[in-house]
Copies of this chain bind each other. A is one copy, B any other.
Amino acid sequence: MDCITNRRTVRRYAARPVEDAILHRLLAEAERTQTMGNMQLYSVVVTRSPEMKARLLPLHFGQPMVTEAPVVLTFCADFNRTVRWCEQRQAEPGYDNFLSFLNSATDALLYCQTFCTLAEAEGLGLCFLGTTLYNPQGIVDVLGLPRLVAPVATITLGWPAEEPAQTDRLPLSAIVHDEHYHDYDAQTIDNAYSEKESLPENLAFVRENGKQTLAQVFTDVRYTRRDNEALSRGYLDMLRHQGFLRE
């Protein structure tokens, strides 16, 4: 499928607007995605206003796509709607727990990815912001997410104003396991990562960061233990605050 084979993350967008007609058509088509018990445990908040983008910007560490893209979409795990339906129909819901968060997060992420494929097939470009997991309580507050709703993904969306080079990927043999998991040894790790490590942009990346190996750029600069542990506590605090961790 060309839109997948040729895909690249797009961070710069043309001035051309993304009309509601096309956005809503694609969001509706994506609803065909499989969903747990056909409950559709997700919601999407559409951000277009400059004021709201400006409030989201620092929560995504100032990444300029947040204010420059015509549309920002925040995909949320959502058991609130289902619970309100239950309460209004003489049913007693028990969805204030970790499994229910996982079920709704799964629904939201699968839906998000179908939407991304549809949008890219339409010629739109997008950037998936991993930062959604970094400051979730801030996003809850800005978007007014009620109990049993948690942000799990954000994309910035627009018509592409750039066509960047595709980034590298691991060989398929590094990610597929026949019948059971075959753990990696020194040789299979080398096979998986040597091409990535030899790319000029990655060699430059190591040099610019003053490191000996590419892996050290990840562990010491980009995704450090200290940050990961603090952010883990932050996400769990948000889940508790949103009612997903009732003991």
Which residues in window 65-103 of A have CB below 8 A to B? 76, 78, 80-82, 84-86, 88-95, 97-100, 102-103
Q: Do residues B46 and A32 form an inter-chain contact, with CB atoms below 8 A? A: no
Verify if A14 is at the interface (C-beta below 8 Å from B).
no
User: Given contacts A98-B235, A228-B97, A235-B102, are A88 and B29 in contact (CB under 8 A)?
Assistant: no
Q: Do residues B175 and A44 form an inter-chain contact, with CB atoms below 8 A? A: yes
Chain B residue contacts of A178, Cβ below 8 A? 45-46, 48
Verify if A218 is at the interface (C-beta below 8 Å from B).
yes
Verify if A180 is at the interface (C-beta below 8 Å from B).
yes
Which secondary structure dominates chain A's binding surface?
helix
Which residues in window 147-180 of A have CB below 8 A to B? 149, 152-153, 166-170, 172, 174-180
User: Given contacts A38-B168, A94-B228, A229-B97, are A189 and B85 in contact (CB under 8 A)?
Assistant: yes
Residue in B46, B91, B174, B184 whose beta carbon sits within 8 Å of that of A213 in the complex: B91
In whole angstroms, what is the CA distance A231 to B102 when docked?
A: 11
User: Given contacts A1-B121, A28-B172, A180-B52, are A106 and B152 in contact (CB under 8 A)?
Assistant: yes
A-B contacts, 26 of them at CB < 8 A, read A1-B118, A1-B121, A4-B117, A4-B118, A31-B175, A37-B218, A38-B167, A40-B169, A42-B175, A43-B177, A45-B178, A49-B179, A76-B181, A81-B174, A81-B192, A84-B184, A85-B193, A90-B212, A90-B213, A90-B215, A99-B231, A100-B228, A100-B232, A109-B109, A143-B177, A143-B181
